[in-house]
């Protein structure tokens, strides 16, 4: 039977509950910030297009600097850093409504983004350290599934309160809820299922070259999706705000059901087969973005693109199988930085290429997916 639930003994552990609460809080906080941001930036803060572009670029800087997590871990334990990161994120969300200016938004965006990205880096490390190779994919799948539920709940809440409360009040409510959840986790006692002390400082090893390469390529293709997929739907196919909102709802609903299945499939079929399926499909998806003239077809591709993004958890579980257990924490931090290198370059380069022909960024993403497909064939874990 194709079971997707995290095994009962693990679901009863405090570390699983700890990660579940923080993931729901962090996901909800980011979704709330993102849902309100564009309207708040224009209607209240009065940002122009250039200023908005600067804010979006600044938002990715903390991801690029995730490598610094390894130095913070010299002072704090990972669990404490995870909870504190979400508290900082909640503080950034809370303050957003109180600082409605360009520099105010830059400050709160950095605060929110540092908290979110540092939590993500530590979260990946904690899952890989506390759960075995057959359970970690299930945990990743379940956390992603509950994150999708958070996104749906936030969307409903924003829709319900947008006409009743000010932006300041809504940001305050979202931020406060995130902080309360994170403070609860900060004082929560969790068992330590890890038996290996993590290496301190930056760890970069030649034997992890494939993990680094796959992580970089995944980040590059993801940036094309984030920066240009919705823009394509609006610019070339005249999708309305309501239609985009419906797509978001469809994506999160599908992810709620399919993410646990992806985790189980990784356990059953192995990382190489799952990533091969992902990248072969992405080549077709990006080429469809580039050449299709049918609005419905491109919308379906957007949903499928979002689904296949979930397969990227296989890159992390691949590292769990081939990496030294002592290298998990520093390697997740390095990987998160590698993943975000493209975030600094792709949006600007892709936007410049878009001016020549909007198809070019998507063709380039198809080529990146082809490189990923070829690279994936080098995966060897004993299972693949």
Alpha-carbon distance of 159 to 136, in angstroms, equals 35
Which pLDDT score is estimated for 1?
Answer: 44
Q: What percent of the chain has pLDDT over 90?
A: 39
**Run of H or E including 173:** helix 167-187
SS3 34: helix
pLDDT along the chain (384 residues), means of 10: 52 81 94 83 79 76 82 86 96 95 93 93 87 87 90 84 86 95 90 66 85 91 83 83 78 89 91 95 96 94 90 90 86 83 76 86 94 94 58
Which pLDDT score is estimated for 373?
Answer: 96
Reference 211, options 368, 117, 335; nearest CA is 335
Task: Look up the pTM and report it.
Answer: 0.80
Query: pLDDT tens-digit profile of 36-73?
Result: 887 788 788 887 767 776 787 788 788 888 888 888 88
- Domains in the chain and their CATH numbers? 1-195 (1.20.1250.20), 196-384 (1.20.1250.20)
Query: pLDDT tens-digit profile of 243-300?
Result: 777 888 888 899 889 988 998 999 899 999 999 999 999 999 999 999 999 999 999 9
Handedness of CA 165, 169, 171, 175 (dihedral sign): negative
Give the phi and the psi of residue 189 in degrees, each rounded to 5: -85, 130
Residue 156's CB: how many other CB atoms inside 10 A?
11
Contacts of 285 (CB under 8 A, 6+ apart): 301, 304, 305, 308
Which pLDDT score is estimated for 21?
Answer: 94
Which pLDDT score is estimated for 154?
Answer: 87
Dihedral angle, C-alpha 60, 61, 63, 66, nearest 10 °:
180
Structure tokens at 98: 């109180």
């Amino acid at each position: 039977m194709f079971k997707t639930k995290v095994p009962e003994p693990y679901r009863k552990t405090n570390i699983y509950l700890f990660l579940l609460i923080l993931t729901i809080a962090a996901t909800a906080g980011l979704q709330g910030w993102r849902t309100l941001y564009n309207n708040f930036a224009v209607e209240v803060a009065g940002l122009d297009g250039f200023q908005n572009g600067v804010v979006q670029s600044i938002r990715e800087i903390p991801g690029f600097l995730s490598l610094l997590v390894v130095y913070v871990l010299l002072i704090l334990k990972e669990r404490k850093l995870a909870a504190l990161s979400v508290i900082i994120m909640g503080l950034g969300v809370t303050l957003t409504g109180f600082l409605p200016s360009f520099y105010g938004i830059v400050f709160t965006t950095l605060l929110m983004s540092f908290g979110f990205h540092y939590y993500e880096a530590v979260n990946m490390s904690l899952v890989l350290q506390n759960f075995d190779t057959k359970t970690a994919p299930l945990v990743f799948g379940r956390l992603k599934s509950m994150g999708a539920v958070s996104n749906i709940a936030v969307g409903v809440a924003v829709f319900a309160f947008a006409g009743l409360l000010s932006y300041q009040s809504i940001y305050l409510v979202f931020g406060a809820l995130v902080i309360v959840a994170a403070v609860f986790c900060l004082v929560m006692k969790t068992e330590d299922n890890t038996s290996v002390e993590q290496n301190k400082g930056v760890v970069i090893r030649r034997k992890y070259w494939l993990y680094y390469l796959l992580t970089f390529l995944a980040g590059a293709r993801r940036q094309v999706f984030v920066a240009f997929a919705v823009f394509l739907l609006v610019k070339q196919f005249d999708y309305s705000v309501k239609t985009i909102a419906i797509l978001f709802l469809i994506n999160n609903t599908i992810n709620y059901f399919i993410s646990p299945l992806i985790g189980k499939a990784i356990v059953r079929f192995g990382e190489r087969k799952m990533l091969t399926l992902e990248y072969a499909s992405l080549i077709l998806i990006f080429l469809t973005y580039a050449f299709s003239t049918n609005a419905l077809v491109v919308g379906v591709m957007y949903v499928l693109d979002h689904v296949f993004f979930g397969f990227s958890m296989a890159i992390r579980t691949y590292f769990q199988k081939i990496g030294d257990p002592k290298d998990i924490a520093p390697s997740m931090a390095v990987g998160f930085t590698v993943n975000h290198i493209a975030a600094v370059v792709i949006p600007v380069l892709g936007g410049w290429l878009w001016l020549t022909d909007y198809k070019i960024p998507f063709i380039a993403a198809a080529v990146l997916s082809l490189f990923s497909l070829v690279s994936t064939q080098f995966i060897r874990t004993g299972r693949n």
